Each structure stands twice: as structure tokens, then as C-alpha cells.
Amino acid sequence: MAPTPVGSVPSLLPLRIEGVVKRFGGLTAVNDVTLGLKAGECLGLLGPNGAGKSTLIRSVVGRVIPDAGTVSVFGARADSAGAREALGWIPQELALYPKLTCRENLESFGLYHGLRGAALKTAVEWCLDWASLSDRALEPVLHLSGGMKRRLNMAAGLIHRPKVILMDEPTVGVDPQSRNRIFEMIEMLHVEGVSMLYTTHYMEEAERLCDRIAVIDHGRVIALGTRDELVQKAFASRSEVIVRFAKTGNGVDGWVKERAGVFEDGTARFTIEHANEVAVLLDSAGKAGHELADISLRKPNLESVFLHLTGRELRD
Amino acid sequence: MRTGLIALRRDRGAFALSFVLPIAFFSIFAVIFGGHRDSTPRVKVIVVDEDRSTASQRLIRGLEREGSLVVKKQPAAKDGVQQADYTAATAEAAVKGDTAPVALIIPHGFGEYPMAFGAPGENRPTIQLLKDSSDLIAAQVVTGLLQKVAMTAMPDLMAEQGSKYLGRFAGGLTPEQRKRIDEGLDELRRLENSDDQSSASGDSNRGMPVAVATRDVVGQNRDMVSFYAAAIGVMFLLFTASGASGSLLDEAESGTLDRVLSSRVTMGNLLAGKLVYSMLLAFSQLVVMFVWAWLVFKVDFIPHIPGFVVMGLSTAFAVGAFGMLLASICRTRAQLGPLSTLVILLMSSVGGSMFPRYFMSESMQKAGLLTINAWAIDGFTKVFWRDEPISHLWPQVMVLLSIGVVFWAVARRLAGRWEYS
């Protein structure tokens, strides 16, 4: 899929975000973000906690009024009735009625979206099936496991079968098994051609689910493209060497910086063009008196890209 | 204990209300029943002077001098035009219309024989006291003061009357005189030993200087159950409505509010929906309470259903909007609990849900008009006590609907803070 350069967004996209700025007092949570979501695409917003992902999503869904910029859905203003119907939002926190059953929750949210009668019934059945909760339809939410609640939370955002879905870290706090089930649900939507904006701070999720990834930090989109494009742009054909020191201190930090590496938590990362540069590094470390505990060579990934771009690791 | 204290301290509103609530409620009762009364409640009494004698005029002047009575001889002036004096018929209509709880009708011939002394069954003029039985105090106050005024305002007439009786009964004490006195004494002894001293329509004031016949013109043969059904009902409606509207805070805290507002539902839609829910819940509660009162306490419910529906829906609307207002003022459920308890108990005590407002001082009675309780209870009293037609309920209905509209509008404005960040 061809990348869309930052700052250039064609109109009539399923979702178009242009120059959005949101400040909370002195904090700029979203800083001049421009993005376009293509039809049938899953666009990842990858960034650490506090990067501004949720604020951007809430700006799209109308829960936050941006200080500047515009958001449109299929060319219509995001706060228009048509846009609201086209958008589905899965918030990061569970937003369900705990005393209502799964079916009653879905029915309630369906009614809020104007569904009635047979259309509502069909939508509820589809959601229960999609979330693998048909056998728990009559169970009150408060009796469900964490993973089931997450799945129902997602299903509630899809009750009106939106064309554009905004998923705000839907796997937060979910065990690995449930996470896999959620991935399958999202992939099912992807196959159906639904357009999705997916925020996460898990690199593996972005790599698995997203066609393109926007790396966001301190409210700014600092890179945009497919996984391979991002890696290529950051590292070209270079590989990554990860070095763990037996002892830190004693000038390790300075030694790493001298060799254009990044040092964090006792681990240094270098990029090299050729494998023989590893031997040069080992020799240099030995001469400087730095004892190595471990050394590995790997192809760069999104984690590496984020570190390369920000000088920080992408962590929880 | 530590975590509880920290949580309480963090929620400053709840923290403050935890201590303000008991102080406020204690103060309310202290003001109502304690030594801070600013004025004694004054009883309105309509006086009709059919006799127009010296005695009747002096009796009325004596009543007018009583600080705890407000004597009305004619209706309030209309457009600056003085109205004609009350007659027995217009006075009765005025009591029925809640202009005053008591009317006194001084009959022709009163001045001739103002004292009640005489043998039973003797045809002597008797003052008619017409009363609204929903006010348990007013008739007793007026009766007592009437006797006092009779003794103090016209002692010479009393003496003259006494001499008439002396001439009539003394002078040799013939066997007939002896017989009459004995009969009178027998009757007094009988009354002294009898429990039946308060016949509603009979001579209830034997042994008193002035003969008074009391008659209920409002709430005949009714007990206080319908009053309490309304009074207690409104108080619980307020609690129900505040609890129901607390779901708004639950939704804000749980995140479902965000989700709902991202759909086609607006904040106005949402508040209106919650208001309708609170209304229906409150109205259902009233229905259950009055049906229970009908089945168990024989309240005359069925003939009053139309009036009940009008007052019930008006009251339910006002309390529903009241609940929305409280919920939109508060930031958390923890704040809503003590605040709603404080406001509802305050409104209920001042507004007459806990004890009738005629027990209170005049200023407290006026303050009660600022509450939903007072208007709702007045309306239900009109329906169940006074048998007034629905058209007479308009002041109460208008006030309750106005309260509801204003409260809802303010709640809508305050709830705007949840609409966007």
C-alpha cells in the first residue's frame, strides 16, 4: 500500500485529520497532527502512554474539541449526524453497564445509534457472535471475565456496523489468550474492508494488525508509513547490534555515545552496515575495559525505529 | 481506616457535607421548634357579624386585639375596590377555598344573650365555628381565644347577662328554680365524667362563657391518612429522584456517558430521557402509595383519580428535574448522597412533609413556599380534603411545572461540562 506523506491528505477519505491541535492548559496533548485513513486500511497510531493517542481519537469522535484543525469523515464534518453514524469508537476504558447483561448492553447502545426492531436484533446477534459471547448473552457484565468484558466493550462500539472504527488500545490489561482472540476479531473486520484507526503502545500489535503506522510522540506524528518503510527510512540496510554490559558506569555511557549508540538501562544499541563492524565494536569495548555480558545482532523493528527517532524506548 | 479517611479527604465536597449535614439538620429543627422563632404562627379567622350589636362588635374588637389572630371581616380589596363583608355563605366558601382555616359566625340575638349559661336545649344564640379539619390547630386556638375575649372584652355585658339570669333563676328559689338548677348541675356533672366533649356538630363548649357550635366544612369524616400519603410520598419521591438521577454520575464515572454522547444521542436527549425515567418512577411510587392508602386505610382514592393524576404528574416532573439538578451540581456519587439528604430533609421539614406547616412560624411558613413539598402537599390537600375541581389546582400545577422547567434548564447548563473536554 502506497504511503501517504505527512501533511498531504486527499479529501473524501474515510477519515481525514488535518492540523489538529489540542492543549490542556500549558500541555499540548496533540500538536498539529495531519493524517488520512484510507478505505479498508488499518492505520496504527504507535506511541508511548501520554503521547496524545487517546486525545486524538477523542477529537475525532467529538468528545474533545480541538483548539485548531479539522476532522472529516467521508468529507463530512466529524460532528455531523452522518459522520457519527459512520464512526465507531472503542474507548480504552471499559464503558459498559455492569448490571445489564451482554445482550442488554448491546441493545442499549444500538438504541442510542437509532437501531430498532429487526435491525437491532440482527446487529446484537452479529456482535455477540463476533465477540464469541453468544453463550454469555444473558450474563450480567459484572460476572464476565476481563477478556470477555474487553470483547463486549469492542462489540458495543460496532453495534451500528460503522464504516470507520477507532480502537483505543483495546487490548490493555488483557491476558495473552484473550489478546489473540481480539486480534482475530480485528482481522475479521479487516478482511471485511472496514477502515480502522488503531492506537497501541505495543509494537507487536502494530506490526501484526496495521497496514501503515504513524509513530506519535509528545503529540506529534514523527513518522508515517508501512512497517518496512519506517524501518527502511530509519535504518536503510543497516542492522542493529544490542550490547548488554556486565557492569555499567566507568564511562560506558560516554563510550556508547562516541560510537553513535544509544545507552539505556545497561543496554547499548548500535547500527551497523556490515557484520564485520561487530568485531570492531568488541575490540573497542575490550580496549576501553568494558566487560560485555551479552551481544546480539538483529534486523531493526518498530521498537528500534522509535528508539532511533526519540532516543527513548517504547514502553508501557 | 487510613484508606477510608484519605478517600473522604480527597472528595472535599463529600468531606464537608459529612459534617455540614448533621449541623444543618439540627439547626433546622432548632429554628422550627426551638427558641429562635421569629414570630408565633398567626391564625387567620373570618368573622361574620350577623348580630351587629354592641356585644358582637366588642367581641370582634377583642378578637382583633389578639396578636395571634388575623381577623378578616371582608375579602381583600379587588382593584382597589373595597369588598362587601363576609356572609355566612361566603365565609363558608372562603374556608373551603383555603382563604382561612376558621370562620366565626355571630348570629342574630347574640347580644341579647351572649353568655352560654342556661339549661340544656334552651333556644339561645350560638356562635358558629366553621373549620377546615386539615388544620388541627387553628380551630382550637380560635375557640380558646374566643372564650378568653368573651371574658375580658365585655365584662359589663357578662355582668348584665348574669343579672338577667339571676332575676330569672333567683328570687325565692321556687321548686321550679331548684329543679332547673339541679338539672343544670346534673348536666355539668355528666359532661365532666363523660369522654364525649367534642361533638363535631353539637354544643362543644358547655361550661364556657360563649356557646360555640363547631362544624367541619372541609375534610368532613376524613382522617389525616391522605395528608400523610402526600406529605411522606413527596419526601420519598425526592429521595427516589435524586437516586435515579445519580445514574448520570455513574455514567460519567464509568465512561458510558462518553460512549452515549458519541452516538446520535445529545446531552439534551440524555437528560430528557433520564428526566422521563425519574418522572415515571416517582409517579409509580405515588400510585403505589395512594393505592395502598386506599386499600388499607380507606382513603377515598377512586373519585379523586383525575386530580391525583394531575398533581402526581406535576409533582413527579418537579422532583425529577430536582434530581437532575442535584446530580449535575455534584461531581461524584459520594457528593450526591449527603447533599441530596441535606437538601431533601431541609425541604421536607420546612415544606410540611414531616409536620404540617401550620405548626410553624409565619416566616417559616413563607419559606416553605420555596419548596416542592409545600406546593405538592397543598395540591394533594385540595384534591383529597377539599374536593376541589381540577381547575382549582392551577396555582400548584403552574408552580411545580415552573420549578421543574427552571431546575431542568439549570441542570442542562451544568451538565454541559460533560459534553466536551
Domains of chain A: 15-231 (3.40.50.300), 239-299 (3.30.70)
Helices (H) and strands (E) in chain A, counts: 11, 14
Residues in CB range of B7: below 8 A, 6 or more apart:
none
d(C-alpha B375, C-alpha B360), whole Å:
16
Strands, DSSP E only, in B68-133? 69-72, 102-106, 127-132
**Do B253 and B104 sit in the same domain of this protein?**
no
B266 to chain A, any CB pair closer than 8 A? The answer is no
- For A252, counting Cβ atoms within 10 Å of its Cβ (0-12 exposed, 13-18 middle, 19+ buried), the class is buried
**Do B186 and B289 sit in the same domain of this protein?**
no
- Condensed to tens digits (0 to 9), the pLDDT of residues B279-305 reads 999 999 999 989 998 998 888 899 999
Q: Which three cell numbers stand for residue A9?
A: 491528505
B31 assigned to some structural domain? no
Distance from CA of B271 to the nearest CA of A (A): 13
Domain that holds residue B131: 43-218
Residue with cell 355585658: B157
B153 assigned to some structural domain? yes
Q: Which three cell numbers stand for residue B300?
A: 377515598
pLDDT for B38 equals 53
d(C-alpha A220, C-alpha A51), whole Å:
8
**Do B208 and B248 sit in the same domain of this protein?**
no
Distance from CA of A121 to the nearest CA of B (A): 18
**Do B212 and B280 sit in the same domain of this protein?**
no
Chain B residue numbers with beta carbons less than 8 Å from the beta carbon of A65 are 420-421
* Confidence band of A260 (pLDDT split at 50, 70, 90): confident
* Confidence band of A17 (pLDDT split at 50, 70, 90): very high
Chain B residue numbers with beta carbons less than 8 Å from the beta carbon of A168 are none
A189 to chain B, any CB pair closer than 8 A? The answer is no
B5 assigned to some structural domain? no
d(C-alpha A158, C-alpha A88), whole Å:
6
Cβ pair B254:A95 closer than 8 A: yes
- Looking up residue B135, the CATH number of its domain turns out to be 3.40.1710
A85 to chain B, any CB pair closer than 8 A? The answer is yes
Taking only Cα atoms into account, the Rg of chain B, rounded to an integer number of angstroms, comes to: 28
Closest-CA residue of chain A to B260: A112
pLDDT for B235 equals 92
pLDDT at B324 over 90: yes
Longest CA pairwise span in chain A (Å): 78
Question: What's the mean pLDDT in B240-252?
Answer: 89
**Do B214 and B229 sit in the same domain of this protein?**
no
d(C-alpha B262, C-alpha B195), whole Å:
72
Question: What's the mean pLDDT in A3-15?
Answer: 59
Cβ pair B265:A157 closer than 8 A: no
pLDDT for A60 equals 92
d(C-alpha A139, C-alpha A149), whole Å:
11
Q: Which residue has the higher pLDDT, A253 or A9?
A: A253
pLDDT at B111 over 90: no
Residue with cell 382597589: B80
Helix axes B225-245, B333-351, angle to 10 degrees: 160
Chain A residue numbers with beta carbons less than 8 Å from the beta carbon of B261 are 62-63
Residue with cell 493517542: A53
Sign of the C-alpha dihedral computed for residues B225, B228, B233 and B239 taken in this order: negative
Chain A residue numbers with beta carbons less than 8 Å from the beta carbon of B260 are 109, 112
**Do B196 and B244 sit in the same domain of this protein?**
no
pLDDT for B369 equals 93
pLDDT > 90 in chain B, percent:
29
**Do B237 and B125 sit in the same domain of this protein?**
no
B19 assigned to some structural domain? no
Cβ pair A95:B261 closer than 8 A: no
Q: What is the dihedral of CA B250, B251, B252, B257, to 10 degrees?
A: -170
Lowest mean pLDDT among A222-231, B21-30, B39-48: B21-30
d(C-alpha A285, C-alpha A245), whole Å:
10
| Amino acid present at B46 | I
Q: Which three cell numbers stand for residue A236?
A: 536503510
Q: With left for phi above 0 and alpha for psi between -120 and 50, is residue A114 left, alpha or beta? A: left
Of the residues A22, A60, A63, the best mutation for testing chain B's interface (the one with the most B CB atoms within 10 Å of its CB) is A63
d(C-alpha B200, C-alpha B42), whole Å:
24
Lowest mean pLDDT among B13-17, B250-254, B268-272, B415-419: B13-17
d(C-alpha A196, C-alpha A163), whole Å:
8
d(C-alpha B264, C-alpha A81), whole Å:
7
* Confidence band of B220 (pLDDT split at 50, 70, 90): low
Task: Annotate B297-335 with DSSP letters as a single string.
Answer: H----GGGHHHHHHHHHHHHHHHHHHHHHHHHH-SSHHH
A65 to chain B, any CB pair closer than 8 A? The answer is yes
pLDDT at B223 over 70: no
Last residue of a domain, one of B218, B237, B268: B218
pLDDT at B16 over 90: no
* Confidence band of A165 (pLDDT split at 50, 70, 90): very high
Last residue of a domain, one of B168, B195, B218: B218
pLDDT at B308 over 50: yes
**Do B286 and B403 sit in the same domain of this protein?**
yes
Question: What's the mean pLDDT in B349-377?
Answer: 86
B23 assigned to some structural domain? no
- Condensed to tens digits (0 to 9), the pLDDT of residues B225-242 reads 778 888 888 999 999 899
**Do B150 and B165 sit in the same domain of this protein?**
yes
Q: Which residue has the higher pLDDT, B328 or B19?
A: B328
- For B382, counting Cβ atoms within 10 Å of its Cβ (0-12 exposed, 13-18 middle, 19+ buried), the class is buried
pLDDT for B222 equals 64
- Condensed to tens digits (0 to 9), the pLDDT of residues B113-136 reads 776 655 455 566 788 898 887 777
- Condensed to tens digits (0 to 9), the pLDDT of residues B176-219 reads 766 775 676 566 556 545 544 444 444 444 556 678 888 888 76
Distance from CA of A144 to the nearest CA of B (A): 16
Reported as type and span, the H/E element at residue B215 is strand B212-218
pLDDT for A7 equals 46
**Do B196 and B238 sit in the same domain of this protein?**
no
Q: CB–CB of B218/B386 below 8 Å?
A: yes
Q: CB–CB of B66/B145 below 8 Å?
A: yes
Question: What's the mean pLDDT in A213-221?
Answer: 93
Residues in CB range of B207: below 8 A, 6 or more apart:
B116, B188, B191
B9 assigned to some structural domain? no
Residues in CB range of B344: below 8 A, 6 or more apart:
B235, B238, B239, B242
**Do B356 and B398 sit in the same domain of this protein?**
yes
| Amino acid present at B17 | L
Last residue of a domain, one of B164, B198, B218: B218
Question: Edge-to-edge, what's the strand order for the sheet holding A27-37?
Answer: A27-37, A15-24, A68-73, A76-77
pLDDT at B411 over 90: yes
**Do B71 and B203 sit in the same domain of this protein?**
yes
pLDDT at B397 over 90: yes
| Amino acid present at B265 | V
B30 assigned to some structural domain? no
Considering only the beta carbons, identify the residue of B259, B420, B421 that sits closest to A91: B259
Cβ pair B261:A89 closer than 8 A: no
Task: Annotate A228-276 with DSSP letters as a single string.
Answer: HHHHHHHHTT-EEEEEEESS--TTHHHHHHHTT-EEETTEEEEEESSTT
Count of structural domains, chain B: 2
d(C-alpha B215, C-alpha B199), whole Å:
9
Q: Which three cell numbers stand for residue A235?
A: 535504518
B106 assigned to some structural domain? yes
Q: What is the mean pLDDT of chain A?
A: 88
pTM: 0.73
pLDDT at A2 over 60: no
